[in-house]
Chain A
Amino acid sequence: MQGPRAALGALLIIAITGMTAPAALSQDNSQDSGKPAAEPRCLMCHRETADEPVHAIFKTPHGQLDGGGAASCVSCHGASDDHQRGPTRNPPDVSFGPKWESPTADGNGACLTCHQKEEQMFWLGGVHEQEELACNDCHNAHTPRDPMLTADGQLDNCLSCHTRQQAQLRLPSRHPILEGKTACTDCHNPHGAATEAMLTAPTLNDNCYQCHQEKRGPFLWEHQPVNEDCSYCHNPHGSVQQNLLTARGPFQCQQCHSAAFHPSQVYDGRSTTSNSSNQYVLGKNCLNCHSQVHGSNHPSGARLMR
């Protein structure tokens, strides 16, 4: 296994590179922040004894921005001079509610100052940006752990709008999404992507292969639609039929296969009782024999039975 050794080597390189990189991060941040010359007075009013858990942010990296303390407040909320002069009359420059709420673009702009990169680089123009979602519709910076960074928190948030998936995720055949074992973000990037359905991998099949590597092949005997698009046969969010199938065998197979003899026959109610044809309908239907539907690597596996 060359791969793991190379991987460990590369992790070591990251460590060395990180340790030897110039230590200029804090200076870089302060240069860009545009904070006022005077020390902001946020924490004189927004005290630890307030009802709202404002100070919980200091348990997070957001509370350390620009050196932490009140300086971190203005790094997101702006200098807010008017608010400092008249705290009950004037809102902060950027406010996320509930009392005052800045326009979505302003609120998001505060976040994008730092986060318009990496996984968030496609936010502008993405579906959620076009729907005018605010960052704080999903995220909460003033908490030690943003719920959206957990699979469970994502589920609650995403399903509040994606109601069709609410029901699909509970169908008899499904992925372990309700259990938090598969997160929405394992497959989708809610911050936008250039890919279809904001998938994290470049193609739909690559997305599926992230967990189902054994189906990557290439196989000696390929099943052509399988290589193209898993969703020809599977519903990833859940299905009435087992194995997330869009339809049940033998009918699903017969949507594309009508060869002489048994593949062309009608499998109606008689075929569940007749011993001459129940082998094609009962049990695993076509897969009683053609179990290698994702491809076979056997020299005699042309019919996906080996």
Chain B
Amino acid sequence: MSERRRTPVFLALATAGAVAGNALAQEDSRPLATRWATDYTGFAEIGVGYVSDENFEFGEYNGLNEDEAFLIGNIDWSGSGDGSFWNLNGSNVGLDTREGQARWRNQRWDIYFEIDSQQQVRNNSGRTPFRGGDTLLLPEGWVSGINTSDFGALDASLRGFDQELDRDRYTLGVKAQLSSAWSLEGTLFYEEKQGDRDWGGAIFNNAAAGDAVILPRGVDFENTEFDLTLNYADGPLALTGSLFYSEFENGDDLLQWQNPYSNFGPNVRYPEGFGGLALEPDNEFYRARLTGTWIVSPTLRLQVDGSYGKTEQDQDFANFTVNPNLTVPGVLPRTSFDGEYETKVFDARVFWNPLRKLRLEGYFHGEERDNDVPRDGYQYVLGDAFPIPDSSGQLFNTQHSYSINTYGIEGSYPLPLRSKLWLTYEYEEIERDNAAVTESDEDRYKLRYRLPILSNLNMRVEALYGDRNADEYVWNQSYFARLDVERINNTPDSQRYLNHPLLSQYHIATRERVEGRMDLDWQPGADWNLALNLLYREDDYDESELGLTDEELESISFTASWFASDKLVLSGWLSSNSYESQQSGRAFRGGADKNAFEIFPPLPQASDPSRNWDVDVEDEAIALGLTVEWSPSERLELGATYSYQDTESDYEFGNGGAADLSDEPFAEDYESEMHHLILEGTWHFRDNLSLAVNYQYWNFDSEDWAISGVSQDSIGKVLSLGEQPADEDLHYIGTSIIYRWQ
């Protein structure tokens, strides 16, 4: 039973006792579950639940984030007759996560309407001095300053800020079975997503003088979608063609905030100065897709999946800056972007059995993103504060297109001892426009072997080796693609780059991948089921000097189930996951120190290997779950589930010995610990009436060096929300009555 359905249930024992006399009134000898499945058409559950404390981890998605009592309400009602079926259901009606569906269908028609409300609550312990919607203002009496510690009226200005996003989704679907071979279906979907979340913004004239704030940003999204699908299936051929359309609209175009700092000139500093962010533009997406399978003969079949998609947006641009008194040289090259990209994807698979036991599969995956956007130079206004006064301040947008072609062949053959072997070879080539690496290819080899070691013990092992080769890494590509020629000409050759020449971006870098898996399933007796799953993966970016150089993933999972009797089931799982990465950097300033090619001392910083640093990061997560399900009698179901989780991120620094670099670790790790206990019981004191109770204990504790003890004015140049890590200890109890009818 999932956590959402564990709709809590409890009833006072006194009440239960009073009605116990009716409990065994039924004469029917069939099991209760059979009577419900066969004789009853619906149920309604009503009750009350209570959460003891406000929270944002326990209630992140389930609507149980407030310390309050709420209505438990669920209903499900089905019927049939004359070859048609209908169903009405609703759940969580007393919460902001309610959902419901009405559906009617027969041999020809299937019509349904769905409502689904979703909620995400994030860390709600932060506070902000800002007020307003898409234009955020500071309160009267605000005292500005150079740093956050100078904001004299900060404490008096703070207000609570709940980070909460609500989605409401409505879906209307119709399917018509036109004949035994043809069907047509359509879906209309509308969604609203609204709420608040945190968003960073900065006013600056260079990176060292950024005046940043974490803003309470409103979210006001709408999305409308339509899907029309025609299906055909007759004998060996099945085809599905679909058209899909999606229109996204953002109710807010621009987020503006009053500058709380007193840096810069009067046009930029408090109170006249503002900062402005362009929010996500409206967009439209169209897609046509055709999928099909054709069984040519008993030994040969084909599968294809091809699609063409187009995404467009043409939102009007904001001005270069929201501060009208700043003089910006030049004008916008266009009033709106008029951008679009096409996505073409084609997958094909051929399955062939040339021999009775030999199975071969050939496959192809082709994917292309064709980005057709106008390229122009845009005058760069540094952080709504400082317009670069000439054309050297122009930056050029670039088009990012890519294509991926993957070819693969797989063969499988049964071997002695009822084992089976799979061998796979795959070749992939990727081409990119406007990237440091324009071409790369990868060979992948995979072996899979399945062996029933014993009649009750199965093993599966898998090994993969991948070798990705990237063409020449053009480290100055982005520099020449984005900057104005005047600025390029005014820069010494040795400084003409954005990222350090020794850095390789891992997603396009040469890589060697090794992966191994092993799965064991063992049923030592009819009552036992044990499984062990192991995974190891290592990615070695062996030609990268700076950037991500190595990744390692280890995962161990063990599960066990014991069906002690038809009344008692115990199960548990234990999982350990570890992700380690190693990365390096070289600390360097600009100007003469940005010269990355000097070989004689004194070395500028960018040329000096002693200024290298590296960090090993290890994320570990250990989790376990234990469940007991016990039915001492047919009319009483009891259950207990305990979940535990412990996560930790550990950082170890190393450096080349430069005086201003350090290997000092963080004073605190980033870690979390969770205990979750669920006790539930349901007493079916009559066939059509049940009492249920659900109790949960939740404890979540976390430490996070990025926010622990960090108040709104702790960071000199970032006015933050001052939110603190989760420290939750709460109880949940719910009791309800379930009524069933025939």
Pick from B8-16, B283-291, B682-690 the stretch touching chain A: B283-291
B200, A224: Cβ atoms closer than 8 Å: no
Whether, in the assembled complex, B473 has its beta carbon less than 8 Å from a beta carbon of chain A, the answer is: no
Q: Interface-forming stretch among A34-42, A75-83, A99-107, A169-177?
A: A169-177
Residues of A within 8 A of B277 (CB): 291-292, 298, 306
**A18 contacts which of B184, B319, B371, B621 (Cβ < 8 Å)?**
B184
A278 to B291: give the CA distance in the assembly, Å: 52
Chain B neighbourhood of A219, CB < 8 A: 281, 339
| Contacting residue for A206 out of B223, B231, B309, B649, CB 8 A | B309
Query: Are A224 and B400 neighbours in the complex by a CB distance under 8 Å?
Result: yes
Interface 9-residue window, one of B127-135, B173-181, B264-272, B731-739: B173-181
Q: B289 contacts A218, CB within 8 Å?
A: no
Contacts of A52 in B (CB 8 A): 34
- CB <8 Å contact, A272 and B30: no
A283 vs B307: C-alpha distance when bound (angstroms): 42
Contact check, B226 vs A3: say whether CB atoms are below 8 A apart. yes
Chain B window 698-720, contacts with chain A (Cβ cutoff 8 Å), 1 for yes, 0 for no:
00001001110010001111101
Are B317 and A297 within 8 A (Cβ)? yes
When chains A and B are docked, how far (Å) is the Cα of A18 from the Cα of B343?
Answer: 33
Per-residue interface assignment for chain B, residues 162 to 192, with 1 indicating a CB less than 8 Å from any chain A CB and 0 otherwise: 0000000000101111111011111010100
Q: Which residues of B contact A196 (CB under 8 A)?
A: 365
List which A220-272 residues lie within 8 A (CB) of chain B.
220-222, 224-225, 227-229, 232, 239-241, 246-248, 251, 254-262, 264-266, 268-270, 272
Q: Are B586 and A258 in contact (CB under 8 A)?
A: yes
Min distance, Cβ A156 to any Cβ of chain B, angstroms: 7
Give the dominant DSSP class at B's interface. Answer: strand
Q: Are B349 and A194 in contact (CB under 8 A)?
A: yes
> Are A291 and B311 in touch, CB under 8 angstroms?
no
Q: DSSP class of A's interface residues: helix, strand, loop or mixed?
A: loop
User: Which chain B residues lie closer than 8 Å to A144 at the CB level?
Assistant: 37, 78
One of B45-53, B438-446, B659-667 contacting the partner: B659-667
A73 vs B468: C-alpha distance in the bound complex, in angstroms? 54
A282 touches B (CB below 8 Å): yes
Given contacts A144-B78, A217-B313, contact A284 B369 (CB under 8 A): no
A247 and B551 alpha carbons, distance in the complex (Å): 11
Q: Mark B24-39, 1 if CB is under 8 A from A, else 0.
A: 0000011101100110
Q: Does B587 contact A (CB under 8 A)?
A: yes
Name the contact of B176 in the complex, choosing from A4, A17, A64 (C-beta under 8 A).
Answer: A17
Q: Pick the contact of B667: A48, A225, A269 (CB < 8 A).
A: A269
Q: Are B30 and A268 in contact (CB under 8 A)?
A: no
Partner of B177, one of A25, A202, A300: A25
Say whether, besides A178-B3, A178-B4, A306-B277, A25 and B238 are in contact (CB < 8 Å): no
- CB of B208 closer than 8 Å to a CB of A: yes
CB neighbours (8 Å) of A117 from chain B are: 231, 233, 238, 240
Minimum Cβ distance to chain B for residue A231 (Å): 10
Contact, CB under 8 Å: B228 / A10? yes
- State whether the Cβ of A45 lies closer than 8 Å to any Cβ in chain B: no
8 nearest CB pairs, A to B: A18-B176, A117-B233, A28-B180, A7-B226, A167-B575, A298-B278, A194-B347, A176-B61
- 24 example contacts (A-B, Cβ-Cβ < 8 A) are as follows A25-B180, A59-B78, A121-B292, A130-B422, A160-B559, A167-B645, A171-B645, A179-B3, A214-B283, A218-B339, A224-B435, A247-B617, A248-B670, A255-B581, A256-B503, A259-B499, A275-B147, A275-B716, A288-B720, A297-B278, A297-B313, A298-B276, A300-B384, A306-B278
